[in-house]
Structures are given as structure tokens and as C-alpha cells.
Structure 1
Amino acid sequence: MPSLDGLYAITPDTDDSERLIEQVSLALDHGVRILQYRNKSQDKVRRLWQASILASLARSRDVLFLINDDIALAQAVHADGVHVGRDDTGIAAARAALGAGAIIGASCYHDLALARAAVAAGARYVAFGAVFPSATKPAASAAPLSLFAAAANLGVPRVAIGGITVDNAAQVIDAGADAIAVIGGLFDVADTAAAAQALSGLFRR
């Protein structure tokens, strides 16, 4: 199984499946190592169709594919695991449903104690954010970059999320993040391929 590090793409919430598939394909071809399907729409048919296509794209490129807080959808498309937040399905419940080999990631916001609890519950990685102001979650609390050094002894990869772009990603990586989760910085830019290539290249400096 690929390692949990590098450029971590999270899909934008969109009904435009054709554009979504086009942009994700470009991102996958230019350095993305983890892909999370995140769509809060109530259209279950569209979500299943989009997730199925993206799962196939990720699998063909040996990229980890995760679903945001939907165990049934993860099972349906044979995803590698799920990502859960504080108010989502519990880590233990996700592990019980998806099995010992599944990747369960947890949002820990700006809270190191929450990260410790997540790891104790079986999380395979922890995510801190927003590290910068985020258009996706404008009300999110700020997570200081010092968290990544403080979380170094947790024994799991540390993922940064929130407002990460080509211009500021190096700060987060230098602070100790093992992976950077990006939405707008990949999918709200003029050239997704160039952004993915630049962001992934920061891990090879």
C-alpha cells in the first residue's frame, strides 16, 4: 500500500462530474499520492457514480483513495478507507465496518489532545487545520504550525489542511507535515496540472 505522505488532494463539492473527473485526472498524473472524495450533496446516485469513477482512476495510478465520512460509500467503491471529523462516524465504528487494513484518518483541528485520542482509537493518520484561512471552511479555527513538531511522537503521519497553496505550502512542510491536503489550491486554479506538479515537487527539495 502506498505511504501516507506527499500531496493529498480533496475533491471540491461539485455537480459537474465531467470537469471533476478531468481535474482529478490531471492532479493524479502530476504528483497526487492520496485522493479523498468529499461531496456533501444529498444526491446519492451522483455521489456513487463520481466516487466509482474516481476510485478507478486512483487505483490505476496506485494512489490511495479515501471517502469523507461515508462508510457505506467507501464499502461500495472498495475505497482504501475513510476520513472522519469530530462529529462524524467514530473511528472505532469505521474500523469495525471496514476492517483492520482500512485507512482511517481523523480531523484533529488545532487540538493535540484530540490527535492523541484519535491515534489511541486506531487512526492511521491525523489532520490539523486550518493552517491558513480556508475558503472551504471559513469559520475553521486556526491551527498553529507548531502542532506538527508537537505531534511528531504520535507515530502516525501528520496531515496539514486549510488554505494551502503553491505559495505557502513550503512553510507547512518545513514545519513537519508529512502530507498537505489541498482543495482550492488544486481545483480552483487555472492550471491544476501545474499546481499539482509544483506542490508535489516541494516534497523533493
Structure 2
Amino acid sequence: MTRHDMRRESPQAGLLRGLYLITPDEPDDGRLLARVAPVLAHAACLQYRNKRASPRQRLRQVDALRTLCTEARVPLIVNDDAALAASTGADGVHLGEHDGAVAAARALLGNDAIVGVSCYDDIRLGLDAAAQGADYLAFGAFFVSPTKPTARRASIDLLQRARITGLPLVAIGGISPDNARSVIAAGADMIAAISGVFDAPDPVAAARAYAACFA
């Protein structure tokens, strides 16, 4: 799957619908691949996120995941680090509020890259990111998240208001297959999950359940 494919398939601006899978902070390279590989078939895209890894390990892990994602035809997005995304040939980058401007990431990665932006609970951040040329917007947390228990909480109607941007929307934060349909109905094109998949007793079944919410 190419970067352009990711944009073309959206019901709004051409982005995929489905599970936006985010990697856990896994210190063992081999175990990371072993955990990701079985669930990748149920993901719309994969975001690499590891806050605890060294720069060298992050490079190794992204390189290995890029091979997996290429084989599975799943776009690979790197969290926070446009330079790492560029050096590994990842499909794009996801930017938080302190990770630099969309224009800088676009200049580094090229026009075909996927650039997503965290907008938390603030529609103004979404409007600004859309004006700067972001490819998708992420809002949340919508529910209590075990990954970020102190994250800002967003109201579900924020997704409805964010539809004015015309961009695909990712909902994040404590979303399970049991409550996912409420945020999808409000306008989410993708549901982000880390612990909901990787900490589940059966990660494959969990990933499949998230994907089924979009059926």
C-alpha cells in the first residue's frame, strides 16, 4: 500500500478506516516483531511509538517494522520524530504539540508523506493543523486511558465539530471494542489502540474486534 493509497481510500479526504494500531514500549526487538506481526492484518495503519528506547534501538525497531508493514501493505507512521521517519523510509510521522510544524515535517519527508497531528481536546489545534496541510487529525482522550491516565479528556461532540476540516479523524484514549461505535458514529475514521490490543488476553481477537466495529 502506498502513501497515496492511504489518502484515496478515505470516505472524507481519502484515508483508511479502521484500527490505528500503536506499538507498545517493547524493549526486546524480536518480541516487538512477534507481538506486532499476528495483529497487523487487522490494522489500517501502524504507528511506531517507544518512549523508552534509545535512538539506536528506535532505528532498529522502525527498520524491522517497516519490512513487516511493507509485506502486510500497512502504512507505517513514526511517532514524534520526522527525522527518524525520513531516515527509515517510513510512510509518515505523527506530531504532538511539541514535535515541530507540519511544514517542517513535510519538507523533510516529501509531499507524499502522511503527516498526522495530535489535537487533544482542542478544535482550534485541529483547524490550525488542517490549514497547515495535515493529512489527518487525532483527538482524545475520550475515555480513561491506561497508557496515559492523566491525558486531557475530550468530548465526543468534538469529533462532530472537527468534520468541518474535511480531514480523516483518529479517536484515541481508552477506546475499546465495547465503546468504539459511539466515537465512530460521532465521526471517527480510525480508532487508536495500544493496550486494548497488546495487553488483551488474545491480541489477535482484540484487533479483529476493533476492526469489526467498522463493518
Shift of 1:18: 2.4
Shift of 1:191: 0.8
The runs of 5 or more residues in structure 1 that have no matched partner are none
2:30 counterpart (18, 24, 40) = 18
Residues 1:27 and 1:137: Cα distance change in structure 2 (over 3 Å): same
Question: TM-score scaled to structure 1, two decimals?
Answer: 0.95
Shift of 1:42: 4.7
SS in 1 for 2:213: helix
2:16 counterpart (4, 12, 21) = 4
SS in 1 for 2:211: helix
The runs of 5 or more residues in structure 2 that have no matched partner are 7-14
Shift of 1:127: 0.4
Instruction: Check the 8 A contact 1:41/1:47 in 2, yes or no.
Output: no
RMSD: 1.1
SS in 2 for 1:195: helix
Shift of 1:162: 0.6
Q: Which residue of 2 aligns with 1:63?
A: 74
Q: Which residue of 1 aligns with 2:163?
A: 152
Shift of 1:88: 1.1
Q: Which residue of 1 aligns with 2:130?
A: 119
Q: Equivalent residues in 2 for 1:114-193 (5 A)?
A: 114-193=125-204
C-alpha separation between the residues in 2 aligned to 1:131 and 1:114?
A: 16
C-alpha separation between the residues in 1 aligned to 2:33 and 2:157?
A: 35
Question: TM-score scaled to structure 2, two decimals?
Answer: 0.91
SS in 2 for 1:151: helix
Shift of 1:4: 3.0
SS in 2 for 1:203: coil
Q: Which residue of 2 aligns with 1:43?
A: 54
